[in-house]
């Protein structure tokens, strides 16, 4: 696996791929590790998560630089990602026992009936490159503390991050085989899922990848959780606080260089404030600093690869050809690296890629609506259903409309974000199942009824 720095186009590291024999050995070791790991007291497992959080913070600069080198994340955002990983470890260290406590049920006199939450075994996680530490830790922290063991197939452009995560957990005191990285190509994933030793699967990534993993898992009747793409609506009502809404909207579209499933992608704006909002959005996009991701002044770094940037640019060009108006951006920057500027499209036709597909980069599509009914209709005019947001000074109005948006999570006057304290996941082609909070830790457990007479 060659690691290409997307800011320079240079190959900076090469890793040897694992083969089928390596996978077989890893599965043997995972199965053996599970037999002992599941018996460790939960309090001990929680303490190891605390140690992992401490290591993450101690090595924050090192791991942030690794992230930036492999997939181009601006360095301050990379450091923030490491902090968030430490947070999810600490969250489950504090709350896992409460989340997994036995639940007692009404029963006849002299009997005791309860639900116990017991681990399943080795879980295969197929993870993406855009948040290369966070996506993995939001899987690893709850599942390891629940007593499962993990097998990670990470994206092929971030092998260093994958191995670093394994290092964190090993150095924190987790058993060596409780969490293993498999540097394998995608064509070996289905064989791993097909193996009896793998008890469940989870994937964060594209729709086609999710469909493949879900199909392979379903064929073997194995539990799976999918968090797939999104085309989140950012609904701006006529009574929104425009100064704040514009500022948050610029960030919501361009954070992580626009490469986020829950980034705001379709801006649905009431006619009364449309012109002012578009003007502010364009001004804000043009003010962002695009450049070297190792520079702390950089707000938007490169796209993760030249191929991904080319795909994004093709979507923009086809949207403009279909009739969209290019307000700013829209052309790769004339410099080394995969740099694409923050871009704003208006007058987007319904059949244009910017309206129908997920644009995984710093491109905002803006739609004008006459009233809140049309806003909800436009917000729901998508196959996706990951997240969304509503912006209004009337909190009750915002909450009412939040219930009308078809998505796994809707935020009122706040940018959509994943948070260890609340469930995260989508509906429609954005996936199924939930991560984080109590819901997430209970996805890969046996909810066992125990009746004692």
* pLDDT for the residue 256: 98
Catalytic residues: 227, 261
Domain membership of residue 289 (yes or no) is: yes
Domain membership of residue 419 (yes or no) is: no
What mean pLDDT, rounded, does the chain reach?
Answer: 98
* Domain CATH number, residue 64: 3.40.605.10
pTM: 0.97
Is 165 found in the same domain as 276?
A: no
The model's pLDDT over 223-261, given as tens digits with 9 standing for 90+, comes to 999 999 999 999 999 999 999 999 999 999 999 999 999
The answer to whether 177 and 30 are in contact (CB under 8 A) is yes
Domain membership of residue 417 (yes or no) is: no
Mean pLDDT of 147-165: 98
Is 303 found in the same domain as 178?
A: no
The model's pLDDT over 127-142, given as tens digits with 9 standing for 90+, comes to 999 999 999 999 999 9
- Nearest to residue 124, comparing CAs of 41, 184, 40, 45? 184
Domain membership of residue 360 (yes or no) is: yes
Would you give the DSSP letter of residue 343?
E
Domain membership of residue 421 (yes or no) is: no
Is 139 found in the same domain as 280?
A: no
Instruction: Give the tokens for residue 188.
Output: 């070996």
**Torsion over CA of 20, 21, 27 and 33, rounded to 10 degrees?**
-150
Domain membership of residue 174 (yes or no) is: yes
Is 249 found in the same domain as 221?
A: no
Residue 95: pLDDT band with limits 50, 70, 90: very high
- Please state, in angstroms and rounded to a whole number, the distance separating the CA atoms of residues 210 and 205: 7
Domain membership of residue 286 (yes or no) is: yes
Mean pLDDT of 443-449: 98
Measured between alpha carbons, how far is residue 10 from residues 3, 40, 70, 310, 338 in Å?
A: 8, 45, 11, 17, 11
Is 238 found in the same domain as 131?
A: no
Q: What's the number of domains the chain is made of?
A: 2
* Domain CATH number, residue 397: 3.40.309.10
- Side-chain half-sphere exposure of 327, counting CA atoms within 13 A: 22
The model's pLDDT over 314-327, given as tens digits with 9 standing for 90+, comes to 999 999 999 999 99
Would you give the DSSP letter of residue 16?
P
- Please state, in angstroms and rounded to a whole number, the distance separating the CA atoms of residues 151 and 184: 11
Is 220 found in the same domain as 250?
A: no
Is 198 found in the same domain as 71?
A: yes
Domain membership of residue 77 (yes or no) is: yes
Reported in sequence order, the residue ranges of 48-178 that DSSP labels E, i.e. its strands, are 103-105, 112-119, 122-126, 149-153
* pLDDT for the residue 72: 98
Is 323 found in the same domain as 183?
A: no
- Please state, in angstroms and rounded to a whole number, the distance separating the CA atoms of residues 241 and 305: 37
Is 165 found in the same domain as 57?
A: yes
- Please state, in angstroms and rounded to a whole number, the distance separating the CA atoms of residues 128 and 28: 25
The model's pLDDT over 25-67, given as tens digits with 9 standing for 90+, comes to 999 999 999 999 999 999 999 999 999 999 999 999 999 999 9
Residue-number span of the structural domain to which 84 is assigned:
2-228+428-452
Is 201 found in the same domain as 238?
A: no
Is 333 found in the same domain as 193?
A: no
Is 176 found in the same domain as 161?
A: yes
């Amino acid at each position: 696996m060659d690691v290409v720095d997307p800011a320079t186009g240079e190959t900076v590291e090469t890793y040897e791929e694992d083969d089928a024999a390596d996978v077989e050995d890893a599965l043997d070791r995972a199965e053996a590790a599970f037999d002992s790991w599941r018996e460790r007291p939960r309090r001990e497992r929680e303490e190891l998560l605390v140690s992992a959080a401490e290591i993450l913070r101690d090595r924050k600069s090192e791991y942030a630089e690794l992230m930036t080198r492999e997939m181009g994340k601006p360095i301050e955002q990379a450091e923030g990602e490491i902090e968030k990983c430490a947070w999810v470890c600490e969250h489950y260290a504090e709350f896992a026992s409460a989340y997994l406590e036995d639940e007692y049920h009404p029963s006849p006199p002299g009997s005791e009936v309860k639900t116990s939450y017991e681990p399943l075994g080795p879980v295969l996680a197929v993870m993406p490159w855009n948040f290369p530490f966070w996506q993995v830790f939001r899987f690893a922290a709850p599942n390891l503390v629940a007593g499962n063991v993990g097998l990670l197939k990470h994206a092929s452009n971030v092998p260093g991050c994958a191995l670093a995560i394994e290092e964190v957990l090993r150095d924190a005191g987790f058993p060596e085989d409780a969490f293993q990285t498999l540097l394998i190509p995608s064509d070996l994933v289905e064989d791993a899922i097909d193996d009896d030793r793998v008890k469940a699967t989870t994937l964060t990534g594209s729709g086609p990848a999710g469909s493949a993993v879900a199909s392979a898992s379903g064929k073997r009747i194995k539990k799976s959780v999918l968090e797939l793409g999104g085309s989140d609506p950012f609904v701006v009502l006529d009574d929104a606080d425009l100064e704040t809404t514009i500022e948050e909207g610029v960030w919501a579209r361009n954070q992580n260089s626009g490469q986020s499933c829950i980034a705001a992608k379709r801006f649905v704006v009431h006619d009364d404030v449309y012109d002012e909002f578009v003007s502010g959005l364009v001004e804000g996009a043009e003010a962002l600093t695009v450049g070297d991701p190792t520079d702390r002044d950089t707000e938007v770094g490169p796209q993760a690869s030249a191929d991904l940037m080319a795909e994004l640019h093709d979507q923009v060009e086809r949207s403009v050809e279909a009739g969209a108006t290019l307000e700013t951006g829209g052309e790769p920057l004339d410099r080394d690296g995969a740099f694409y500027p923050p871009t704003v499209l208006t007058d987007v036709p319904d059949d244009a890629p910017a309206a129908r597909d997920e644009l995984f980069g710093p491109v905002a599509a803006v739609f004008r609506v006459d009233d809140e009914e049309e806003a909800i209709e436009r917000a729901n005019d998508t196959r996706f259903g990951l997240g969304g947001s509503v912006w209004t000074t009337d909190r009750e109005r915002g909450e009412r409309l939040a219930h009308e948006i078809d998505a796994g999570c809707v935020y009122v006057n706040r940018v959509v974000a994943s948070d260890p304290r609340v469930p995260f996941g989508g509906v429609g082609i954005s996936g199924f199942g939930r991560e984080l909070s109590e819901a997430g830790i209970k996805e890969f457990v046996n909810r066992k009824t125990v009746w004692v007479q």
